[in-house]
Amino acid sequence: MKEYDIVVIGGGPAGLASALAAKENGIKDILILERDRELGGILNQCIHNGFGLHTFKEELTGPEYAARYIERVVDMKISYKLHTMVLDIRPDKVITAMNKEEGLFEIRTKAIILAMGCRERARGALNIPGYRPAGIFSAGTAQWLVNKEGYLPGREVVILGSGDIGLIMARRMTLEGAKVKVVAELMPYSGGLKRNIVQCLDDYGIPLKLAHTIIDIKGKKRLEGVTLAQVDENGKPVLGTEEEYSCDTLLLSVGLIPENELSGGMGVAMNPVTSGPFVNESLETNREGVFACGNVLHVHDLVDFVSEEAAVAGKNAAKYVKNQSENRVSAANSEEIVQDTKVCLKPVNGVRYTVPSTINPSRMEENQIVRFRVGAVYKNKTIGVYFDGEEVLKRKRMVMAPGEMEEVKLSKTMFLSHPNVQSITIQVEDV
């Protein structure tokens, strides 16, 4: 069986950045396993610009952003396999994978970085009644067809959900000659970034109907139309608000779900809020030596933050591998120390989750970024951070929305001044 120091599952932005960081931190035997035909993941179909403003201080398209990482992966001679599907990961870190050339094969590794990304929520999960004709696509599928293959899935389009991919596709379909009639969003706020609302809808005069959903789908063979209705505060359609839209295409942009089937199979504990693994400050899961980053950990808005987070996972995976080989003889049970000093992060009052969910102060960097999302739209509020009830940080926010990821930075000094801290609370509060 072939052995590696680190195997990265997924060659998208998270996988690439984590592999690079691991390599830069001295690990030689790294392998990236990618199921698609090329590295770069979903970026390859994101031909619009807006990527890299944080990382490179310039505006790149998705493929350009990916290319910067792919070139470095090639330059640094990190090995990768394409068209390779991972079928199973055993708790003892034996990976079963498959491709055309090598068939079914197993590899063993010291550390694993989970970077499988996410998938789009499908119609079935929404219980939208009606027929099941051709012409209903997830926004990402339509994006693949248009951007990668040059096909127009339809000419008269309604979009349900205001996730970023849906907004981006509203503009794309318009530019390619389709008529996008409306974007309907169940929630009273948009699920996407403000800049995408402005640049993809407002600029093209596409109406966004908040607190609306589709209550019927018409057309037996190909989609012929949908019925839109306003919803009340419980998400239930309001009688008498129905509007008919004729259309041949319905795009769904109703949420992304981390693809954690492999993680679950190897016993990685999952956070039901994010559908991603629980991780500590090193982005390590409850399974020692198994790290997670990018959209498989929690769904991000910006790839720049995926790259940043993935680099942390890669660096810590490298550290883990090096520690392991150093400690092999002495077998210092560092794990027990870690357990003893685990500080739990508690998201409350408007904060839905945090990544990481625990911090070991002795292992943290000078600054620890904690990322989270809020559960509703908040205006003129503050984010408060409390160490065992004592306020250590307050950050004012003009606007916070579920569609935009938030972060706070915890410094080592905060922990030094609270040596016995048990739990950290993060919450939304009035100014």
Partner 1 sequence: MYDVIIIGAGVSGAAAARELSRYRLKVCVLEKEEDVCCGTSKANSALVHSGYDAAHGSLMAKLNVAGSAMMEELSLELDFPYKRIGSLMVCTSNEDLPQLQTLYSRGIQNGVKGLSVITGKEEIREIEPNLADDVVAVLHAASAGIVCPFGLNIAMAENAAANGVEFFFDTKVERIFSNKKEQSGFQVKTSKGIFETRCIVNAAGVYADVFHNMVSNRKIHITARAGEYCLLDKSAGEHVNHTVFALPTKLGKGVLVSPTIHGNLLVGPTAVNIEDKEDTATTREGLTELIEKAGMSVRKLPIRQVITSFTGLRAHEDNHDFLIGELPDVPGFVDCAGIESPGLTASPAIGLMVADIIREKLQPEVNPDFNGRRTGILNPNTLSKEERAALIAAKPAYGNVICRCETVTEGEIIDAIRRPLGAKSLDGVKRRVRAGMGRCQAGFCSPRVMEILSRELGMDMKKVTKNGAGSELLLGTNKDRL
Least CB distance to partner 1 at residue 353 (A): 17
The C-alpha angle 366, 10, 352, rounded to 5 degrees, equals 55
In this structure, how many other beta carbons lie within 10 angstroms of the beta carbon of residue 238?
A: 12
Establish how many alpha carbons lie within 13 A of residue 267's alpha carbon, considering only the half-sphere containing its beta carbon.
Answer: 8
Least CB distance to partner 1 at residue 221 (A): 4
Residues facing 214 on adjacent strands: 228
Closer to partner 1 by Cβ: residue 176 or 301: 176
**The token pair that represents 321 in the structure block:** 């591998």
Closer to partner 1 by Cβ: residue 202 or 261: 261
Closer to partner 1 by Cβ: residue 214 or 338: 214
> What is the residue-wise DSSP string for 254-290?
--EEE--HHHHHTT--EETTTTEE---TTSB-SSTTE
Residues facing 184 on adjacent strands: 160, 209
Please answer whether residues 180 and 206 qualify as being in contact, where contact means their C-beta atoms are separated by less than 8 angstroms. yes
Residue 192 phi, psi (nearest 5): -110, 180
Can the peptide bond before residue 272 be classed as cis, meaning omega within 30 degrees of 0? no
Least CB distance to partner 1 at residue 150 (A): 5
In this structure, how many other beta carbons lie within 10 angstroms of the beta carbon of residue 207?
A: 11
**The token pair that represents 211 in the structure block:** 């607190």
Residue located via tokens 């969003």: 185
Residue located via tokens 């607190």: 211
Least CB distance to partner 1 at residue 152 (A): 4
Least CB distance to partner 1 at residue 151 (A): 4
Q: What is the 8-class DSSP label of residue 45?
A: G
Least CB distance to partner 1 at residue 300 (A): 19
Least CB distance to partner 1 at residue 226 (A): 12
Closer to partner 1 by Cβ: residue 84 or 354: 84
Q: Please name the residue ranges forming H helices in 328-410.
A: 334-340
Kindly list the residues in this chain that would bind partner 1 in the complex (CB under 8 A). Answer: 35, 83, 85, 87, 96, 98-105, 119-120, 122-125, 127, 129-135, 137-138, 140-141, 144-146, 149-155, 176-177, 215-217, 220-222, 237, 248-249, 264
Closer to partner 1 by Cβ: residue 152 or 273: 152
Least CB distance to partner 1 at residue 122 (A): 4
Closer to partner 1 by Cβ: residue 230 or 282: 230
Closer to partner 1 by Cβ: residue 49 or 99: 99
For residue 217, give the nearest of 129, 305, 323, 153 by alpha carbon. Answer: 129
What does the alpha-carbon distance between residue 297 and residue 21 come to, in Å, rounded to a whole number? 18
Closer to partner 1 by Cβ: residue 137 or 386: 137
Closer to partner 1 by Cβ: residue 168 or 345: 168
Least CB distance to partner 1 at residue 170 (A): 15
